[in-house]
């Protein structure tokens, strides 16, 4: 970086599976992401603007199969010279002037990881059918759970009931607690 002349410089990178394996991050192990980097050099600092777009593979939260997650993000990083390495905040990094270089690989990985939504779930009907059926079999039944685990297929035991048709039996252990609530309200 130290050798860059003052002005604007543009770089382009293609990050593929090898990058994600080598960086050894927890969230992403595969992908194909294009990075356009614009570096504006002044006498005291470097302003880096990253345009990152592509696709990464992440595990589905529901069935654990890999799924494609599109990435499209713009990030900024300012690099200044100083006595020792330090991160002033999320966007400003200080590097030792005598070194004069910075490895941006981990920053790229972090920008990509932060662009991934918290919830990654296949589109309806795209989850692994075996795992979806096991989830339905072992999950607690409620109207919201049924909607959440619905993968678009109707099984023979999927039944739509109106509120009036819902069974009224409860776990007998809860009956004692209901009595406490009734006594408290009186």
Model confidence band, residue 157 (pLDDT cutoffs 50, 70, 90): very low
If asked whether residues 42 and 96 sit together in one domain, one would say: yes
If asked whether residues 143 and 67 sit together in one domain, one would say: no
Domain membership of residue 48 (yes or no) is yes
Domain membership of residue 176 (yes or no) is no
What are the distances in angstroms from CA 185 to CA 79, 109, 175? Answer: 64, 56, 16
Backbone angles phi, psi at 45, to 5 degrees: -160, 170
pLDDT for residue 148 is more than 70: no
pLDDT for residue 147 is more than 50: no
If asked whether residues 38 and 84 sit together in one domain, one would say: yes
User: Nearest to residue 94, comparing CAs of 144, 44, 163, 132?
Assistant: 44
If asked whether residues 109 and 134 sit together in one domain, one would say: no
If asked whether residues 57 and 128 sit together in one domain, one would say: no
10-43 pLDDT per residue, tens: 999 999 999 999 998 888 889 999 999 999 998 8
Which 3 state secondary structure label does DSSP give 107? Answer: helix
Domain membership of residue 184 (yes or no) is no
Give the pLDDT mean for 137-145.
Answer: 59
Question: Domain of 133?
Answer: 124-158
Give the pLDDT mean for 5-14.
Answer: 93
60-80 pLDDT per residue, tens: 988 888 999 999 999 999 999
96-108 pLDDT per residue, tens: 888 878 889 999 9
What are the distances in angstroms from CA 23 to CA 27, 77, 118? Answer: 11, 19, 21
If asked whether residues 94 and 46 sit together in one domain, one would say: yes
Q: What is the DSSP string of 7-67?
A: EEEEEEEEE-HHHHHHHT-SS-SEEEEEEEEEEEE-SSEEEEEEEEEEEEEEE-TTT--EE
pLDDT recorded at residue 73: 97
First to last CA, the chain: 76
If asked whether residues 96 and 42 sit together in one domain, one would say: yes
If asked whether residues 99 and 31 sit together in one domain, one would say: yes
pLDDT recorded at residue 146: 45
Q: Percentage of residues in the chain with pLDDT exceeding 90?
A: 40
Domain membership of residue 137 (yes or no) is yes
Structural Rg of the chain based on CA atoms: 26
Number of domains in the chain: 2
């Amino acid at each position: 970086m130290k050798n860059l002349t003052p002005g604007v410089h543009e770089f382009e990178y293609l990050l593929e599976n090898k990058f994600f394996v080598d960086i050894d991050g927890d969230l992403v192990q595969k992908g194909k992401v294009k990075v356009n980097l614009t570096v504006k050099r002044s006498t005291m600092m470097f302003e880096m603007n990253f345009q990152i777009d592509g696709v990464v593979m992440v595990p589905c939260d529901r069935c654990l199969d890999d799924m494609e997650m599109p990435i499209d993000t713009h990030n900024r990083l300012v690099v200044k010279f100083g006595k020792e390495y330090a991160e002033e905040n999320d966007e400003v990094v200080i590097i030792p002037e005598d070194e004069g270089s910075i490895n941006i690989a981990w920053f790229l990985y972090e920008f990509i990881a932060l662009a991934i939504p918290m919830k990654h779930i296949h589109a309806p009907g795209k989850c692994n059918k075996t795992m979806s059926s096991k989830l339905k079999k072992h999950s607690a039944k409620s109207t919201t759970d049924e909607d959440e685990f619905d993968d678009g297929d109707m099984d023979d035991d999927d039944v739509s009931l109106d509120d009036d048709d819902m069974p009224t039996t409860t776990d007998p252990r809860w009956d004692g607690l209901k009595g406490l609530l009734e006594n408290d309200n009186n």
